[in-house]
Amino acid sequence: MRWARFERNGEATFGIIEGEEIEAVDGTPFGDHTRTGEKVPLDGTKLLVPFEPKTFYAAGLNYVDHIMEQAEMHGREPNIPEQPDIGYRANNALIAHDEDIVIPKDATDKVQYEGELVAIVGKQAKHLTEENALSCILGYTIGNDVSERTWQKNDRTFWRAKNADTFKPMGPWIETDIDLDSLQTTVRVNGEQTIQFATNNMLFSLQRYIAAMTQYLTLHPGDMIWSGTEGSSPDMKDGDVVEIEINQIGLLRNRFVREK
Amino acid sequence: MRWARFERNGEATFGIIEGEEIEAVDGTPFGDHTRTGEKVPLDGTKLLVPFEPKTFYAAGLNYVDHIMEQAEMHGREPNIPEQPDIGYRANNALIAHDEDIVIPKDATDKVQYEGELVAIVGKQAKHLTEENALSCILGYTIGNDVSERTWQKNDRTFWRAKNADTFKPMGPWIETDIDLDSLQTTVRVNGEQTIQFATNNMLFSLQRYIAAMTQYLTLHPGDMIWSGTEGSSPDMKDGDVVEIEINQIGLLRNRFVREK
């Protein structure tokens, strides 16, 4: 099932995508909901960020080639994590499919994309095991963990490097039914493929992260986990359009524009 | 004005404290609200976490003695930040005044308190200056940034060291009218004072943080900023009761209990 979010009568509304239409729903995918019978065409409807997240978790270094290439870029030894230490990003930075990523005036040229699988928590959970970890997941979407690499090197936290307004495109919708092992993430810049990787080829799987996290913390409906990215990105210039596609989910497209 | 949050007819409700009573309010301190005339006694009413935060910002190293003492504890050179890099904590860890901090079974003995001033954003804000930074602040409360120091040393992020469930007591209420420069933070363990410091004696003031943050990010109503702590803490044992008092605001009291 695919859940989208769009504006209806001036309010953000969830809807279920079927074929070329979205059927508006009263309620949310996280609780009671009923179909309204009211439909809008998918094509031409402006999609919103697919839900308002509660806690925004992010696995930082979770693919081996990415870790090696980041280390080389920053001129340091690669530091392959020994345990799944989850990090955080911030909601201020979220934008929807087809909205513009604004590169701040004083950012350097080293602004890059990171295509990521996003897992969305649907049920409250604590003390899960790797075996039942995915039982708390409602569905999946796509994220672009946009990063300013100079700030990333110098900021003590990643507040600015990764959480400047518009730096977290997410969407286009939530897909509830996927087979993790057959996902492929493909990134294109201005229509040309720059990378393709097996989405589930993670250093620590989502199951491993969730089992580790819920040993100490409660996951709540509306929390989400961004799962990291593979490889490296060219530097994005004013006007560059990035598409991140994950088969079975969809395609997230955003343009980079430099603030005037 | 003091805003508290409590349960009324089975729902979390905001109220305004006057004298020994709380008057229930329809609405929230972040938007339209009307007094209901319905009052409950302050004494004996279970207070909730004073609001549900959106983004949970935290200044990590923001008092000089604390930085020096942390460096000594971790056996490394003190690293005094050169710029106000805001960090993040997570809502799962929040508990209210008088609720118990549960030390996980496998935590070491190095579990400590950190008494902090918390500033709560009431208005959407971007591009503030140090001069008008506080114009977005609705009020203040008190936080205890409980930390497991062994995990803090070894976790790549602070997800477990600082965000295990119950590690973020906050309350007892929101005070809207304070004079920052005359605040004193006092911490007591089992009734005995362990530290007292001038709350506003920060390395980077709230104004400086807010001006820096809003150069790149939008603050939203319901976001909050924990402002760091001074000095060091003894290790907390099962049964220890910690009170953090900030004059003009109130007193946040929580007991540490070790998970059986």
Q: Rounded to a whole number, what is the distance in angstroms from the first to the last CA of chain B?
A: 41
Q: Is B160 on the interface with A (CB under 8 A)?
A: yes
Left if phi > 0, otherwise alpha if psi is -120 to 50, otherwise beta: which for A151? alpha
Q: A79 pLDDT exceeds 90?
A: no
Here the ipTM equals: 0.95
Residue A155's closest chain B neighbor by CA? B85
**pLDDT band (50, 70, 90) for residue A73:** confident
What confidence tens digit (pLDDT) does each residue in A184-206 have?
Answer: 999 999 999 999 999 999 999 99
Per-residue confidence (pLDDT) for residue B154, from 0 to 100: 86
**Could you tell me how many helices (H) and strands (E) chain A has, helices first?**
3, 18
Write the burial class of residue A110 (CB in 10 Å: 0-12 exposed, 13-18 middle, 19+ buried): middle
Give pTM, 2 decimals: 0.96
**pLDDT band (50, 70, 90) for residue A75:** confident
CB B171 within 8 A of CB B47: yes
What confidence tens digit (pLDDT) does each residue in A106-137 have?
Answer: 999 999 999 999 999 999 999 999 999 999 99
User: What's the rounded Cα separation, in Å, for the pair B212 and B235?
Assistant: 34
Interface test with B, best of A103, A150, A157, A259 (most B CBs within 10 A): A157
H helices of A62-185, in order, are 64-73, 149-154
List per-residue pLDDT tens for chain B, 260 residues long. 999 999 998 999 999 999 999 999 999 999 999 999 999 999 999 999 999 999 999 998 899 988 888 888 878 888 888 899 999 999 999 999 999 999 999 999 999 999 999 999 999 999 999 999 999 999 999 999 999 999 998 888 899 999 999 999 999 999 999 999 999 999 999 999 999 999 999 999 999 999 999 999 999 999 999 999 999 999 999 999 999 999 999 999 999 999 99
Write the burial class of residue A65 (CB in 10 Å: 0-12 exposed, 13-18 middle, 19+ buried): middle
3-state secondary structure of B208: helix
Q: Does A165 sit within 8 Å of B54, measured CB to CB? A: no
B216 closest CB neighbour out of A57, A165, A219: A165
Q: Does B157 sit within 8 Å of A91, measured CB to CB? A: no
What confidence tens digit (pLDDT) does each residue in A130-181 have?
Answer: 999 999 999 999 999 999 999 998 888 899 999 999 999 999 999 999 999 9
The number of beta carbons lying within 10 Å of the beta carbon of residue B183 is 18
Domains in chain A, ordered, with CATH? 1-46 (2.30.30.370), 49-258 (3.90.850.10)
Per-residue confidence (pLDDT) for residue B6, from 0 to 100: 98
Per-residue DSSP letter, B222: T
**pLDDT band (50, 70, 90) for residue A13:** very high
A156 closest CB neighbour out of B85, B93, B213: B85
Q: Is B216 on the interface with A (CB under 8 A)?
A: yes
Residue A160 vs residues A163, A232, B118: alpha-carbon distances, Å: 5, 20, 21
Per-residue confidence (pLDDT) for residue A229, from 0 to 100: 94
Chain A residues whose beta carbon lies within 8 Å of the beta carbon of residue B216 = 104, 159-160, 163-165
State the smallest CA–CA distance between residue B37 and chain A in angstroms.
31
CB A205 within 8 A of CB A134: no
- In one letter, which amino acid is A56? F
